Amino acid sequence: MIPLSFSNFKRRMYFMKKIKSFIMFGLCMALLSFALVGCSKGKKETDSDKAGIDAEPTQAVKDEKEESKEETGDKKPVTLRLWAHWGSEQRRPTIDKIIQKFNEKYADQKITAEYVYVPFGDIETKMIASVTAGNPANVVISAIEDTNVKAMRNQAMDITDYLSDGVAEKFYEKYWDMVTYEDRVYAVPFNTDTRLVFYNKTMFKEAGINVEDIKTWDDMINVCKKLDEKFMGKGDYMLAFNPVLGNFGFDTLAINNGGGNFDDPMNPNLPTANSKQNIETLEHMKVYADMYGQDLVQQAMAANAGGAQDLFLSGKVAMIGQVCNYIATIEKYNAEAKVDYGVFAYPAGPSNPTGEPAAWGGGFVCTVPYGAENPQESTLLAEFMATEGAAIWAQEQKDVMCSTEANENPAMASSVGWKETIALMENTNGTRRHPYAPNAGQFMAEAVDSIVKNYTATDVEAALNTAQEQIEAKIEEEKFIFGE
């Protein structure tokens, strides 16, 4: 059945392209056959011919080549390009340091890496475009959750045969699984994260609030009302908390309530956009939206700035939902802001199956794009980034890394919030994107934003029903294009 979004013209064009491809393939094979026949008549058969065109060179030939290479020093320099989205004054120095360490380590092998900054919103699109054009970077820092999609669509290279022996043992098993597709490896896992609530201890104390009393979603709403009653209209204060601010949002709250976009986060099949758990989650977010109103919420979103002037450090909010590496941001700028802060996990939702707080964890991987030059050296850079580079990144950026050794750093234990971060990692869940609806999150975001950011809709169930229908239609459309 043809999806509604496909016209008959598109369908005809699709099959015409297929037929054209088969014709061209047949012509190429015919020409190749004639060429091979001509060559075979003009040369003597050798031992390697008898063994096959892929026959392994003899050991004597190998040794001769190696000696020749050593004598002439003819190893060509290899320059690798690493694309990533780290360009801020906080993160750029760290990635520059990692690249410098790599270049120092492999200078004798004439392997050099260059860092290329690509804005976060552009990097995925640019990577896919470069693969299509045949000129990709050697390594791209890309989202961990869609590695399976990139593998299926020949956008990421199968690097299994280029990996060092035993490299998988250096990583947490669940993150190594995230970069594996049909028993082959398509990236090296770099970092992950979790999401917590950072709170202003001074404000809590003045409002008479004990953070340990926050056990439910209703408790969070009541704490916000208490803080607003105490501080609204004073200084730069705008509001206590809203999950649309910072880096929190629907995904973390949905997982914290037993929900999500699909039936199985690691092997997504059926969309569950309009599930009971998701409806409860968006209704909870709507309480914040209604409590503060469109003007104030949008003013708060617009007021966020970088460094010591962000919403939390500048005192505009009493709490902010953030990824764990926000600890590094606070440590960098708190000498100016001087905020006495603490960290806690957002309480479990009413439909949470365990009753324990949970969160969504994203992260990044070191992907060698399909068609990248020098795949062996590219994989070497990806491994270095995710191991030795990860140790540097963890210490300076307070990120949770996918490498087991990178997280074993005593210096990090002294950071406020690190203990809570490690504790929450037990219940932090990653997700894989659906192979036929990798952009399902876009439909969910539109539904959520219409209720709690843009205020263009008020019916939660209707908004999520629309998202459900859009995702289902997208799956059918993609199956029609790519085949099941």
The yes-or-no verdict on residue 20 having pLDDT over 90 is no
Which whole number is the average pLDDT over 301-326?
96
Q: Are residues 340 and 455 in the same domain?
A: yes
264 in any annotated domain? yes
The predicted pLDDT at position 73 comes to: 58
Q: Give the tens place of pLDDT for each residue, 377-400.
A: 999 999 999 999 999 999 999 999
Question: Does the pLDDT at position 159 exceed 90?
Answer: yes
Q: Are 179 and 144 in contact (CB under 8 A)?
A: yes
Same domain, 354 and 205: yes
Task: Please tell me the total count of domains within the chain.
Answer: 2
Encode pLDDT of 161-171 as tens digits.
999 999 999 99
Q: Are residues 144 and 252 in the same domain?
A: no
pLDDT value for 409 = 75
Confidence band for 239, pLDDT divided at 50, 70 and 90: very high
pTM confidence score: 0.81
Q: Where residue 107 sits, what CATH number does that domain have?
A: 3.40.190.10
Do 186 and 287 reside in the same domain of the chain?
Answer: no
What is the extent of the structural domain holding 212?
A: 195-360+436-482
Quote the radius of gyration of the chain (alpha carbons, Å). 27
Kindly state whether residues 280 and 254 are assigned to the same domain: yes
DSSP single-letter state for residue 183: T
Percent of the chain with pLDDT over 70: 85
CB 340 within 8 A of CB 415: no
Last residue within a domain, chosen from 397, 422, 447: 422
Both 235 and 369 in a single domain? no
Same domain, 313 and 454: yes
Residue-wise pLDDT tens digits, 68-101: 444 435 789 999 999 999 999 999 999 999 999 9
Answer yes or no: are the C-beta atoms of 314 and 337 closer than 8 Å.
yes
- Provide the pLDDT for residue 37: 37
* Residue 381: predicted pLDDT: 99
Q: Does any domain span residue 311?
A: yes
Give the length of the chain. 484
Task: Give residue 40's pLDDT band: very low, low, confident or very high (50, 70, 90).
Answer: very low
Section 221-246 average pLDDT: 98
Q: Are residues 89 and 215 in the same domain?
A: no
Compute the average pLDDT of residues 416-441. 93
The DSSP code for 145 is G
In a domain, 184, yes or no: yes
